Amino acid sequence: MHPSKPWRSVRLQRFPISFRVDQRVTGVLAILIGVASLALVVNVSRGEYPVPLWAVVKTIFGLPTTSDYAFVVNTLRLPRALIALLVGMGLATAGTILQGLTRNPLAAPGIIGINSGASLVAVAFIVLWPGLPVGWLPLAAFVGALLAAIAIYLLAWNQGSSPVRLILVGVGLTALTGACTTLMITFGNIYDVSQALVWLTGSVYGRSWANFWPLLPWMLLFLPLALILARDLDTLNLGDGLAQGLGNRVEWTRSLLLLCTAALSGSAVATAGTIGFVGLMAPHLARQLVGPSHAGLIPVAALTGACIVELADLVGRLLFAPIELPCGIVTAVIGAPYFLWLLYRNA
């Protein structure tokens, strides 16, 4: 489709890793980092107790300002805003991998039931072992996401991958896990349940550093892994037969990629609940910005996801202030029509 596109190659001397990215990637990445930082700063500055933009920047970098600002920014708002960025990155990357893996433009962890599997196991943990430290939640959600991914793989996608069947089985799986989650909620003790409910709507409300630190290692481990696997994802996109011919250990790579998806979406869901449609929208927007090659697509999609969640959180906080809408609702209100538009365009 695109003849003679200018490419840029990045080769590391000491490790056997190389990236071949579209020339647009560098510029787009720079712009996205700018947008994400701006959204972060605006998000931190707005609220019940407004902090001037410049004071926010100064406080974040540890420059002296009023001590009130330091408390509001560093303790209350910054962890939340940072978590929004990380969660957006995780969800978007998981979605990008899944779309590449299934060769299905409509697939996303939220749509095929991986996120709801993660939230089921996480809710089960909150309700059955209320004393468990927050740090264990990402692991629980990861297990749930992995189980859901395996179930989806066995039920829908192994026997001659059919994009539509994948989504339909996902719809069924989402309904099933959703019912089980409601079941858990009916069983549970009211205090744990109300905690679980706030979290289920998909929101970064009230998140603190205690939520940030357990999330960080997952992102630091699996986002680079996803980037390293980008080339394999490109190869897999050519079809299993051709990928095998090119020397790709198809089943091994696929399992690794699936693990990555489950880890990223599981830990994101564990931290912020099921924020829908980010994993669907971000890869599409990124593909329009930098084209389909995954080495460039994955970082761009990750940053797009970060921007989406950060902005959705900002909108959710400002729209009906002082009542906050969870950012999961904002993303769904934008994402569902976008999904329908994609469906319409692909049909």
Partner 1 sequence: MQSSSLSDARSPLLLGLGLVAGSGLLLGSLLLGILLGAADIDATTVWQAIFQFDGSTEHLIIRTVRLPRALLAVVVGAALAAAGTITQGLTRNPLAAPDILGINVGASLAMVLAIFLGSDSRNYVWFAFGGAAIAAVTVYWLGSTGRQGLTPLKLVIAGAALTALLHSLTTAVLLLSQQTLEEIRFWLAGSLAGQELADLWPVLPYITLGLAGSLALGRQLTLMSLGEDVAQGLGLQTAGVKIAAAVVVVLLAGSAVALAGPIGFVGLVVPHIIRIGVGMDYRWILPYAMLVGGILLSVADIAARLVIRPQELPVGIMTALIGAPFFIYLARSRIKR
User: Contacts with partner 1 in 96-115 (CB under 8 A)?
Assistant: 106, 111
- Within 134-162, residue ranges assigned H as helices are 137-152
Using alpha carbons, list the distances in angstroms from residue 97 to 128, 216, 228, 256. Answer: 32, 20, 12, 11
Using alpha carbons, list the distances in angstroms from residue 267 to 113, 123, 137, 330. Answer: 15, 13, 8, 21
Shortest reach from residue 319's CB to partner 1, in Å: 9
- Which listed range, 93-101, 223-231, 288-296, 319-327, lies at the site for partner 1 (CB under 8 A)? 319-327
Cα separation, 88 vs 45, in Å, equals: 20
Shortest reach from residue 109's CB to partner 1, in Å: 14
Handedness of CA 237, 263, 114, 296 (dihedral sign): negative
Shortest reach from residue 186's CB to partner 1, in Å: 6
Cα separation, 13 vs 104, in Å, equals: 35
The correct pick among 53, 165, 216, 285 for binding partner 1 (CB under 8 A) is: 165
- Which listed range, 17-25, 123-131, 293-301, 323-331, lies at the site for partner 1 (CB under 8 A)? 323-331
Using alpha carbons, list the distances in angstroms from residue 95 to 174, 190, 247. Answer: 16, 34, 25
Asked if 151 and 208 touch (Cβ cutoff 8 Å), the reply is: no
Shortest reach from residue 328's CB to partner 1, in Å: 7
The correct pick among 17, 164, 210, 220 for binding partner 1 (CB under 8 A) is: 164
Q: Which is nearer to partner 1, 158 or 288 (CB)?
A: 158
The correct pick among 83, 156, 295, 302 for binding partner 1 (CB under 8 A) is: 156
Shortest reach from residue 160's CB to partner 1, in Å: 9
Verify binding: residue 296, partner 1, rule CB under 8 A.
no
H/E segment holding residue 10: strand 7-11
| Interface contacts to partner 1, rule CB under 8 A | 106, 111, 155-156, 162, 164-165, 167-169, 171-173, 175-176, 178-180, 182-183, 186-187, 201, 276-277, 320, 323, 325-326, 328-329, 332-333, 335-337, 339-340, 343-344, 347
